[in-house]
Chains A and B, each alone.
Chain A
Amino acid sequence: MAKIFDIKHFSVHDGPGIRTTVFFKGCPLKCLWCHNPESISAKTQLAFSAEKCAHCGACVAVCPSGVHILREEKHILHKENCTFCRACENICPVGALTVYGKEVGLGEVLREALEDRDFYGASGGVTLSGGECLLQADFCAELLSALKAEGIHTAVDTCGYVPRETLDKVSSYTDLFLYDLKAFDEDVHIRLTGRSNDIILENLRYLDAIGKKVEIRIPYVPRANGNQIDKIAHFIASLHNITAVRVLAYHNFALSKYDALGMENTSPEGIPTNEEMRLVRARMHELTGLPVPD
């Protein structure tokens, strides 16, 4: 079994072509700007958006565990009682309630991943992402192996903060690694993500050395890792099997999710403009000689 929080169909930003992306729950890093705060905890979570709530009481009626209480136009939640049955999520007419996290078996994920195989064509396929999917490496290895047996292109999106043996479990079933780099300087990396990047850089060198295809993904958060771009680029230039570098624009669409999950919002200020993104991508291309698509 594995714990995931979403399976996204018609996913076009997580590897080449039309893909299905499985988002695993739980992450060893805690990046300040995390766009998927629901992915960080390995536990199932009930999120509630007070802003959307219409106080209709549908959730109160349907909840078997007394999680929801409406009192004087206030919606009080006893999350500790929640059994994550999703009855409230399903009935809420305005989408104010979401359960993040679901235990799934291999067959179920495989079935859903194969659902859109007619659309994958030559380039598309399935991507495992998160969170950090490799925290559940045994499941991933089984899933990837099953996908390869079906002839499906596979990609693994990883932050790289995993033991090398974990990479070994999946690498032979993985056609493409989408490998995140957030900072080059260790102290900066610790400040931004809570962890050292030693193992991350080491693992990337390892994948490169064994000839795996890797696409580098760099979230560009000007006020957090803006000064790291050149250093990351020089590091990438020293590798041999990198297919492309993607510099991803930081955005703040995740703010409402922090609120809904009751998490402290640590997102930095400063959304890069399109022009900034164009320049930083051009710089990355100049320093690495690699394709840096929009």
Chain B
Amino acid sequence: MLWNTFEQDKEKLDRYHNPNWEAGSGLTDYDDIQREIYRIKEEHIDEPHPQVFAKMIEFVLTKAAIEVRPIDWFGLNIAGWVPDRAKFPYRVMQGLIQTWEEEMYTHAEDGPEILALRELHVACGAGWSYPDNDHSKPYWDDILPLGIPGLLARVRYYRDEKIKSGDYPDEVRDFYEGVIRVYEALIALLYRFAACAEKHITENEKMPIMHAALLKLAEGAPTTLYEVMLLTYFYTLIQEYVTGIQTRTLGNIDTLWRPYYEKALADGSLTRENVKELFKYFYMQYEMAGHPHAQPVFFGGTDGEGNDLVNDLSYLCLEAYEELNIISPKLQIAVSEKTPHEFLKKCCDMIRAGHTAIAFVNEELGRASMSLFTDDPEDVKRLSLSGCYNFSLKENVQPESVGISFVKGVELAFHNGIDPLTGNKLGIETGELSTFDTFDKFYRAYMAQTFKLVEDAIRISDFYDRHFIEMSPSPMLSANFEYAIRQGKDVYFNGSKYHNTVITVSCLATAVDSLYAVKKYVYDLGIVSLEELRTALQNNWVGYENLQKMISSDPEKYGNNLEGPDAIAADIMKKVGELIISHRTWLGHPYSPDAEGIVHGINYGKKTGATPDGRFAFDQLSKNLQSVFGCDRRGVLAYINSVTKIDAFLYPNGAPIDFVLHPTAVAGDEGLDVMVSLIRSTFRKGGAAIQGNVYSAELLRDAQKNPEKYKGLQVRLCGWSQYFNKLSRDEQDMLIRQAETA
């Protein structure tokens, strides 16, 4: 039976946790493959990394065992990676990339200094960093019409043009040869998969179709919807799990795939129900692979001329998703004034029913903020979404390599640049407390310390940007950017049209409430001196219990639409955003600010002493742009009013607004209208992205007590969702506390 098979098949689809490698198809053992990669490394120790890297990829694509599972429309897998995220490396090239990174700290002239700075930031809870080439956006606009062979042909064409021009330096040659080697191996892999499908051709009616599609993809571009879907899956599988670069978007598939969908319906090759079933198989690939931050994909929005892009395929994509109750892929909905009310209602209905892996983004703001990066109106039209809710230009790379805590600057201002817990000199000397006779002076010291951390973060990030080619070349990704291929440069190494490296800043609310408490209790009310407050913080409030109670119970906190704290929040965000954008990456492009983080607040908190907002040492810091937990006493609208005072235009890579709504607030059809109205109003006020949960604290408490009853309960976290049962007790408690104020 060709159709209506999903329900019977779905339990047997997971080949990642239960692989069944084709006998004789190659190496099956994870360790053997890792060993071979390191053998190639040693064997070619003197060759440039792009060449060596391509040889490793070629080895895996041609020698690792494969599987084609006949019951699955997309049942392809290749050995060498594991779905167990606790194991390192869980992706084939990840270990090697880390090895090259470590070598870089030794080999590069400024490597030791950067490594020391990085370690200092981590030790003090001031920031995190790692070389991130993992926020890639494949250029689906070219991948789909060209296919793998078409991309390869384009590489060869530009390689030949370069040779003819006589301008063909070694590094350009290395790049082309690496890309060609990888793409030839990709085609060889497609033939291997096709041969494997042929072996099983009688086992399932899907196999003849898959076999033909694989041959077609090995020889040219896809022409049917199924082939497009199969190519998309094949591409993400190999780029992410073999070459080690996550594909942070599948693109706006309701637009990219629409012509193929409409053609299939028109020529009668597929019915709407058939397509829905294909989507279920397709989505399940990403759920089973189980990336912790989930596979992004986006929908809706408008074209460059302002026409709404929502169509029947958009609805179909949601319907198929709704029937699965999964958290990966995660869906981003690009919202414009023209997005149909009914479409947004459908999305809201899904969130209300617990499909929380849906975020809404403000397309108009996103497009506007692209003016920070380009003057080309045509490029602005092609706005891309990726990751959690990140706006970018399509021909762009945006490494998210570093982040800093907004809170550390408070500690540094109190201690003249010294991190109080470690004694390290992390900041700059901004003066003894006695010199801060006005709040303004204290605030200036805070900003100076925060600027110092940002500048340090940019130094670290810049180091990574300059050395990506040696740490993790990206031949597979580079081939789909014509700009890179034309120049003969790796897309992460001067080969992308736009290179807007991201600097992430986190834990705003804790910093704002701390600064406002200093202003109010030290300078306005004179209840405590700056020196006494420092002593209280150093003693973790012991001996100052009443002061702690007074400050922590003070309702004047960020997130309540109160002018005092909100003005500080808006000012910090403006100054830091402008500072980040004023810096240029080594390719001359502005950095892209990003204001998010949930895990960061927990990690930084563990290394941050007591803070003036009444927080105790080592407690977690605030999440994303949210209020400190329990401090958003005036409700969701006051919170949105507060957060939209921040100029999200300056934070194209992320300025999320989180909501928790009680089910009773959004019950019935009218409740969906309320949710849609909330989203639209938030965007009209300049909000960049909004996401959230609809649940009650009682429900979460019950789920904590009776996990077996709530196996499918999803909760929205930072820019992704997770099953409630998989969270730690602390994280569960945090969500319960948040829901209590809904």
Is the pair B550, A91 in contact by a Cβ cutoff of 8 Å?
A: yes
Any chain B CB within 8 A of the CB of A109? no
Picked from A10, A93, A293, A294, the residue with its CB within 8 Å of the CB of B635 is A10
Bound together, the chains give a CA A293 to CA B550 distance in angstroms of 45
Any chain B CB within 8 A of the CB of A18? yes
Q: 6 A-B residue contacts at CB 8 Å?
A: A17-B677, A58-B549, A118-B685, A124-B677, A294-B667, A294-B668
Bound together, the chains give a CA A293 to CA B674 distance in angstroms of 15
* 15 additional A-B residue pairs with CB within 8 Å, beyond A12-B674, A118-B681, A119-B637: A9-B636, A9-B638, A10-B635, A10-B637, A13-B664, A17-B677, A90-B553, A90-B554, A93-B552, A115-B641, A119-B640, A119-B678, A121-B680, A124-B677, A293-B670
Mark interface residues in B656-689 (1 if CB within 8 Å of A CB, else 0).
0000000011111111011001101100110000
Return A18 CB to nearest CB of chain B, in Å: 6
Is the pair B673, A10 in contact by a Cβ cutoff of 8 Å?
A: no
- What are the residues of chain B within 8 A of A58 when measuring CB–CB? 546, 549
Is the pair A91, B635 in contact by a Cβ cutoff of 8 Å?
A: no
A10-B665, A91-B553 known; A18 and B637 CB under 8 Å? yes
- What are the residues of chain A within 8 A of B635 when measuring CB–CB? 9-10
Is the pair A93, B677 in contact by a Cβ cutoff of 8 Å?
A: no
Any chain A CB within 8 A of the CB of B304? no
Is the pair A18, B677 in contact by a Cβ cutoff of 8 Å?
A: yes
Any chain B CB within 8 A of the CB of A221? no
Bound together, the chains give a CA A91 to CA B669 distance in angstroms of 40
Residue of B nearest to A87 (CB): B550
Bound together, the chains give a CA A91 to CA B614 distance in angstroms of 13
Nearest 3 pairs between A and B by C-beta?
A119-B681, A294-B668, A116-B637
Is the pair A119, B677 in contact by a Cβ cutoff of 8 Å?
A: yes
Any chain A CB within 8 A of the CB of B314? no
Which residues does B use to contact A, with CB under 8 Å?
546, 549-550, 552-555, 561, 634-638, 640-641, 664-671, 673-674, 677-678, 680-681, 684-685
Is the pair A9, B668 in contact by a Cβ cutoff of 8 Å?
A: no
Instruction: Please count how many residues in chain A sit with their CB below 8 Å of the partner chain's CB atoms.
Output: 22
Picked from B546, B665, B668, B684, the residue with its CB within 8 Å of the CB of A118 is B684
Is the pair B678, A18 in contact by a Cβ cutoff of 8 Å?
A: yes
Picked from B638, B666, B680, the residue with its CB within 8 Å of the CB of A115 is B638
Is the pair B546, A61 in contact by a Cβ cutoff of 8 Å?
A: yes
Bound together, the chains give a CA A293 to CA B671 distance in angstroms of 11
Which of A16, A116, A293 has the most C-beta atoms of chain B within 10 angstroms of its own C-beta? A116
Bound together, the chains give a CA A61 to CA B640 distance in angstroms of 35
Is the pair A10, B681 in contact by a Cβ cutoff of 8 Å?
A: no
Return A116 CB to nearest CB of chain B, in Å: 5
Return A124 CB to nearest CB of chain B, in Å: 7
Picked from A90, A121, A293, A294, the residue with its CB within 8 Å of the CB of B677 is A121
**Cβ < 8 Å to B, chain A residues 1-54:** 9-10, 12-13, 16-18
A115-B641, A294-B668 known; A18 and B674 CB under 8 Å? yes
Residue of B nearest to A124 (CB): B677
Bound together, the chains give a CA A91 to CA B670 distance in angstroms of 38
A18-B677, A294-B667 known; A115 and B550 CB under 8 Å? no
Mark interface residues in A56-68 (1 if CB within 8 Å of B CB, else 0).
0010010000000
Bound together, the chains give a CA A294 to CA B550 distance in angstroms of 43
**Cβ < 8 Å to B, chain A residues 78-111:** 90-93
Return A285 CB to nearest CB of chain B, in Å: 15
Return B270 CB to nearest CB of chain A, in Å: 39
Is the pair B549, A293 in contact by a Cβ cutoff of 8 Å?
A: no
Return B687 CB to nearest CB of chain A, in Å: 10
Bound together, the chains give a CA A121 to CA B681 distance in angstroms of 7
Picked from B555, B634, B668, B673, the residue with its CB within 8 Å of the CB of A17 is B673
A9-B637, A12-B674 known; A115 and B553 CB under 8 Å? no
Is the pair B634, A9 in contact by a Cβ cutoff of 8 Å?
A: yes
- What are the residues of chain A within 8 A of B670 when measuring CB–CB? 12, 16, 293
**Cβ < 8 Å to B, chain A residues 109-149:** 115-116, 118-119, 121, 123-124
- What are the residues of chain B within 8 A of A119 when measuring CB–CB? 637, 640, 677-678, 681
Picked from A93, A121, A294, the residue with its CB within 8 Å of the CB of B553 is A93
Mark interface residues in A241-261 (1 if CB within 8 Å of B CB, else 0).
000000000000000000000
- What are the residues of chain A within 8 A of B549 when measuring CB–CB? 58, 91, 93
Is the pair B553, A12 in contact by a Cβ cutoff of 8 Å?
A: no
- What are the residues of chain B within 8 A of A115 when measuring CB–CB? 561, 637-638, 641
Bound together, the chains give a CA A151 to CA B684 distance in angstroms of 18
Return B559 CB to nearest CB of chain A, in Å: 13
A10-B635, A115-B638, A118-B684 known; A293 and B668 CB under 8 Å? yes
